[in-house]
Amino acid sequence: MSPGLRQLGASVSRAHRQPYFIANSYHIDDAAHSPASGAAPVGWD
């Protein structure tokens, strides 16, 4: 594997972890503050 592809793979890997963390934080926050409403946080679709 060329260094360029390895770098690209690392970038994609980081990009995939971060949205999961953000989405997971929103989910926890929403569940903690409105467990029965099922309402999504702002910007969550």
Walk along the chain (45 residues) and give the pLDDT tens digit of each residue. 566 666 666 566 565 555 555 555 555 555 555 545 555 556 554
pTM above 0.85, yes or no: no
Measured between alpha carbons, how far is 41 from 27 in angstroms, rounded to an integer?
Answer: 8
Contact 41, 30 (CB under 8 A): yes
Task: Please give the C-alpha separations between residue 14 and each of 6, 19, 21, 37, 43, in angstroms, as whole numbers.
Answer: 12, 9, 11, 32, 22
Cβ proximity of 41 and 26 under 8 Å? yes
Residue 14: the pLDDT is: 60
**What is the maximum alpha-carbon separation in the chain?**
51
